[in-house]
Amino acid sequence: MAGDLKDGLIVIVGASLAGLRAAEALREEGFTGSLTVVGDEPHAPYDRPPLSKQVLLGQATADTLELPMRRDPDAEWRLGVRATGVDLLAKRVLLADGDSLPYDRLLIATGTRARPWPNPEEGALDGVFTLRTREDGAGLAERLAARPERVLVIGGGFTGSEIASACRELGLAVTVAERGPAPLVGALGGTLSKLAAVMQRNHGVDLRTGVTVTALNGNGAFTGAQLSDGSRVEADVCVVALGAIRNVEWLAESGLAAGPRGIACDAGCRAFTMYGIVTDDVFVAGDVSRFPHPLFGYQMLSLEHWGNAVEQAAVAAHNMVNPGPLQRPHLALPVFWSTQFGLNIKSVGVPTYSDHVVIAQGSLEARRLAMVYGYQGRVTAAVTVDMAKALDYYRHLIETAAPFPPPPGAQDRAIAADIAIPSAVPDPSVLSHGPTVALTGHLPDRRLTVV
Amino acid sequence: MDSATLLARITDYASRPNPYPLYAELREAGPVVPQADGSYLIGTYHHIAALLHDPRMSADPRTRGEMTHKPPFLRLDDPEHHRLRTLAMRPFGPPHSPGRVDGMRGEIDRITEALLEPFEAGHQVDIVDDFAYPLPVTVICRLLGVPHEDEPLFRAWSDAIVAAADVRPDDESAEPDKGGDQARMELGGYLLNLAEQRRGKPGEDMLSAFVNEPDPALRLTPEELAETAVLLLIAGHETTVNLIANGALTFLRQPEQLDRLRREPELLPRAVEELLRYEPPVHMRERIPHADMDIAGTPVPRGVPVILALASGNRDPQRFPDPDRFDPARQDNQHLGFGSGIHACYGGPLARLEAYAALGALLPHLATASLVQDPPPYRQNAMLRGPRHLPVRL
Ligand SMILES: Cc1cc2nc3c(=O)[nH]c(=O)nc-3n(C[C@H](O)[C@H](O)[C@H](O)COP(=O)(O)OP(=O)(O)OC[C@H]3O[C@@H](n4cnc5c(N)ncnc54)[C@H](O)[C@@H]3O)c2cc1C
Ligand code: HEM
């Protein structure tokens, strides 16, 4: 039996971070059968985080981000071809070019795409960008290098904030418009979002909060935008950073539990059907997945995290070629990092799964701190600002469900370390940016609602 | 035997050649083993790693009530530690000086070559005095800008400082060690004077960089400069000498591994990591809890020394399969040889580069060499453990 699992036909849909890492891991696990990787982008797998950082600063170009291969996964690469559906009964993946691929086991790693500007005509104006792909990155970097008068960034989440940071580093005028009360508030809650707002303003960002952009203006080319407070921003480049949409539409007829928040799977990365029954030949990994996590009340987590894609791909690959009793759960804690305005922000756990926070070490004034998040008296997350080495300790507290607030006696302890304040995590619906980590309840979605 | 005497038995000079059975006893008695002198000894990997990351554990000797002047950042807590380590890093590593260590490659190779020139078949050499010691001393002197001719001068100071910093069970009858403080002052004064000579006429060295820092917010005070320079000079060679000597000794004891490394030189970087695990130059570190703690079920009061036996953690079977085997191709080797957490070794990249150059160049000589004395005579120091001499016939 186990021998069979190391052989046969495996198809991976999605040729990016999760897809590549799973392909490598399958071979490391001893899979000797035939492996096909389908990707709709015409490129070998590449890395996305530099797109909002080094690429915009001109320190790297978008065509040099190919992901290094740990080993040649000896796969057939079907690049530039979209998968259009899957027939679970016939065990075939359907492709846009009319072909179809038989499989014994299937891995879905189709990730997300940028949420476009809701008005397609306005979104098509020259100078309006989203940022998800290599082409997006190259196009935006080229525009920024041409030194526009002003850049408008819509959405103050991680991606929007990093873009604004890059603009300031390039010496460009930039306006950030955010519907919520401050940047990053959806990911980090109230206190740190205030620090983020101060950092943006100190670095010369024209930050507008509590407003929405109501219209993009221009005749062919973007010239400015209308805000809900009646004001107008004149700018010649606009970046729409409104979060991500899961690439699940191609599964609408599949019978899998695929919805706007992702494809539901179990802790072993096995996909659920729309009836909440777990499959044993369809697996999910990366940004497109929703999976239950014991440390967060077994709610389904939905993450847009590089590290999660890597870890989950390894677990999925392992489970694809090993029988039940040898399978492993995907229990890794969510970890995320971002660099912006000279700060290195790292997060572990789920900051939004919290009711209170304390600054356990460092201080807001020093711009160097460890913030610990608690939910109903236990530690659920930590965020460090320029204090990454502290993270391991707090990770351990989260993993052991340690009591909140953390025990006294820490060096570099903040004066306010005992004063827990509300974490002030807003309802995501009031934000223009989608949070990159979300808890999405216990239920696998029954049906896809088209977004 | 009584587990409360473990620290005394480990630090006893008679245990120097092979403390590893005592570490096994420690892990067995553990994880937290109270000692007769009131300290606590810990030798299990996962507990050590967790405590190295625990912000409640102080590295500052003043936390146990010792009256002493401000120590160097090796023994300071955050935020002071962070400030001084960051300033000390500016002329040494990324992000401000990313090319510094790599730029020393050629020079390290040249020094290695020159030292090995007299190594001729038939001769007897002392791997420590003729090779493992002079190499890192020369390198750290170049880096800091210390004249190599002054080596006899600072060697005496360095010996006294390292002896004073050793881990020993408290012995009521012993005189408190004042020789260490005296030597630290003198070496600090000497280094500060060297730095002052470069004020306004900077060379490429780190003392020049420290003393000529234009931004007052980024400048070290004279006392800080002295403490930092002393730390770098000592940490820069007293450890690396052990790594090179332990490496030569391990290879000579295991000719099949020596052969393998000669056949597969690309294994050398992994072999060096394995040496840092299997025969680490730094065996123990001390920490002091800032608050009353519960460590793995044992209450540990604030202010008492907690000794973390890094070398024991490196041999913990709960972490490393077959831990007493030297396996130059070992995977998943997150050893504690360089520590971990905020005090993780500052000079690791340089130490690795030196070890690759030194051991790589030594391999061909070792192939036909034999140990004159096994075990060799060891240094007195239990914390910085390594051979005092390693006589070898080529
Ligand atoms: C600008 C930017 C900055 C980021 N910065 C950070 C950061 O600092 N830290 C961090 O942790 N994470 C960051 N991320 C997130 C990180 O890049 C993602 O978590 C990661 O790319 C997820 O990998 P994935 O393989 O799951 O999905 P994706 O990378 O989205 O890949 C999915 C692939 O599948 C393809 N595909 C989709 N549908 C189909 C179909 N039907 N048929 C065939 N192929 C299909 C897609 O085109 C894509 O190539 C950033 C992302 C972006 C865009
Ligand atoms: C093989 C060689 C080396 C070994 C095994 C080694 C080991 C260690 C260890 C275990 C620590 C942690 C101490 C603790 O946690 O209390 C440390 C810290 C340190 N090492 Fe090294 N070291 C080596 C080489 C070097 C070199 C070459 C330098 C200087 C260029 C150096 C500079 C330092 C400094 C400055 C610290 C203090 C860091 C801090 O407190 O933040 N070391 N080293």
pLDDT digits (tens, 9 = 90+) for A378-424: 999 999 999 999 999 999 999 999 999 998 888 888 776 677 888 88
H-helix or E-strand spanning residue B357? helix B348-367
In Å, how far are B19, B35, B274, B284, B363 from B337, measured between CA atoms? Answer: 16, 24, 9, 10, 22
The pLDDT, as a whole number, for residue A435 is 64
Q: With contacts defined as CB-CB under 8 Å, which chain B residues touch A392?
A: 53, 341
Q: How far is the CA of B80 from the centre of ligand 2 (A)?
A: 18
Contact between B291 and A407 using a beta-carbon 8 Å cutoff:
yes
Question: Could you tell me which of A347, A350, A330 has the C-alpha nearest to residue A268?
Answer: A330
Structure tokens at B336: 């504690």
Contact between A409 and B291 using a beta-carbon 8 Å cutoff:
yes
Q: How far is the CA of A16 from the centre of ligand 1 (A)?
A: 7
% of chain B surpassing 90 pLDDT: 86
Which residues face A228 on adjacent strands? none
% of chain A surpassing 90 pLDDT: 82
Structure tokens at A251: 């599964």
Tell me the mean pLDDT in the region A155-170.
Answer: 96
Is some CB atom of chain A closer than 8 A to the CB atom of B296?
no
Superfamily of domain A335-439 in the CATH hierarchy: FAD/NAD-linked reductase, C-terminal dimerisation domain (3.30.390.30)
Q: Which residues line ligand 1 (CB under 6 A)?
A: A 13-19, 38-41, 48-49, 51-52, 82-83, 109-112, 131-132, 159, 247, 250, 286-287, 304-307, 309, 336-338
Q: Please tell me the distance in Å from A400's CA to the nearest CA on chain B.
A: 12
Q: With contacts defined as CB-CB under 8 Å, which chain A residues touch B292?
A: 409
Give the model confidence (pLDDT) of B275-309 as tens digits.
999 999 999 999 999 999 999 999 999 999 999 99
Q: What is the pTM of this model?
A: 0.88
**Cα B182 from Cα A72, distance rounded (Å):** 60
Q: Please tell me the distance in Å from B373's CA to the nearest CA on chain A.
A: 43
Query: Pocket of ligand 1, candidates A12, A110, A254: which has the most ligand atoms within 8 Å of its Cβ, to mutate?
Result: A110
Q: How far is the CA of A34 from the centre of ligand 1 (A)?
A: 25
> In CATH terms, is domain A116-242 a member of 3.50.50.60?
yes
Q: How far is the CA of A117 from the centre of ligand 1 (A)?
A: 19
Give which of B46, B52, B53, B292 to mutate to test A binding, by max A Cβ within 10 Å: B53
**Cα B43 from Cα B296, distance rounded (Å):** 12
Q: With contacts defined as CB-CB under 8 Å, which chain B residues touch A393?
A: 50, 53-55
| CB contact at 8 A, B242 and B281 | yes
> What is the DSSP secondary structure assignment for residue A442, as one 8-state letter?
S
Q: Which domain holds residue B305?
A: 3-393
User: Does residue A279 have a pLDDT over 70?
Assistant: yes
Nearest CA to ligand 1 atom 26: A286
User: Which residues, 6 or more positions from A121, have their beta carbon under 8 angstroms from its beta carbon?
Assistant: none
Please give the tally of structural domains in chain B.
Answer: 1
Contact between A392 and B55 using a beta-carbon 8 Å cutoff:
no
Nearest ligand to residue A316 Cα: 1
**Cα A16 from Cα A39, distance rounded (Å):** 8
* Number of other residues whose CB lies within 10 A of the CB of residue A37: 25
> Across the A/B interface, how many CB contacts are shorter than 8 Å?
51
Give the model confidence (pLDDT) of A280-332 as tens digits.
999 999 999 999 998 888 889 999 999 999 999 999 999 999 999 999 999 98
| CB contact at 8 A, B384 and B239 | yes
Contact between B56 and A409 using a beta-carbon 8 Å cutoff:
yes
Interface of A with B in 349-378 (CB under 8 A): 360-362, 366, 368
User: Does residue A57 have a pLDDT over 80?
Assistant: yes
Range of lowest pLDDT (A14-18, A191-195, A428-432, B232-236): A428-432
Is some CB atom of chain B closer than 8 A to the CB atom of A209?
no
The CATH number of residue B177's host domain is 1.10.630.10
The pLDDT, as a whole number, for residue B262 is 94
User: Does residue A360 have a pLDDT over 90?
Assistant: yes
Q: Name the band, by pLDDT with cuts 50, 70 and 90, for residue A1.
A: very low
| Mean pLDDT, chain A, whole residue set | 92
Residue B147 class from Cβ within 10 Å (0-12 exposed, 13-18 middle, 19+ buried)? exposed
Is some CB atom of chain A closer than 8 A to the CB atom of B291?
yes
Give the strand order in the sheet containing A232-234.
Answer: A213-219, A221-227, A232-234
Q: Matching CATH topology for A2-113+245-326 and A116-242? A: yes
Q: Name the band, by pLDDT with cuts 50, 70 and 90, for residue A449.
A: very low
Give the model confidence (pLDDT) of B327-343 as tens digits.
999 999 999 999 999 99
Nearest ligand to residue B233 Cα: 2
| CB contact at 8 A, A435 and A157 | yes
Nearest CA in chain B to A386: B82
CATH architecture of structural domain A2-113+245-326:
3-Layer(bba) Sandwich (3.50)
Which segments of A70-123 are extended strands (E)? 76-79, 83-87, 92-95, 100-102, 105-108, 112-114
| CB contact at 8 A, A42 and A133 | no
User: Does residue A258 have a pLDDT over 70?
Assistant: yes
Structure tokens at B334: 């997150």
**Cα A223 from Cα A149, distance rounded (Å):** 10
Residue B302 class from Cβ within 10 Å (0-12 exposed, 13-18 middle, 19+ buried)? middle
Residue ranges per domain, chain A?
A: 2-113+245-326, 116-242, 335-439
Residue type at position A374: G
**A227 phi/psi in degrees, rounded to 5:** -110, 160
**Cα B48 from Cα A409, distance rounded (Å):** 18
User: Does residue B266 have a pLDDT over 50?
Assistant: yes
**Cα A134 from Cα A113, distance rounded (Å):** 12
Give the model confidence (pLDDT) of A12-46 as tens digits.
999 999 999 999 999 999 999 999 999 999 999 99
Q: Name the band, by pLDDT with cuts 50, 70 and 90, for residue A242.
A: very high
**Cα B142 from Cα B108, distance rounded (Å):** 10
Q: How far is the CA of A273 from the centre of ligand 1 (A)?
A: 24
Nearest by CB to A390, which of B50, B55, B58?
B55
Is some CB atom of chain A closer than 8 A to the CB atom of B218?
no
Contact between B79 and A389 using a beta-carbon 8 Å cutoff:
no
Give the model confidence (pLDDT) of B17-38 as tens digits.
999 999 999 999 989 999 999 9
| CB contact at 8 A, B234 and B191 | no
Cα B281–B286–B290 angle (5° rounding)? 155
The pLDDT, as a whole number, for residue B170 is 64
Structure tokens at A248: 């699940």
Give which of B56, B77, B287, B302 to mutate to test A binding, by max A Cβ within 10 Å: B56
Q: Please tell me the distance in Å from A241's CA to the nearest CA on chain B.
A: 29
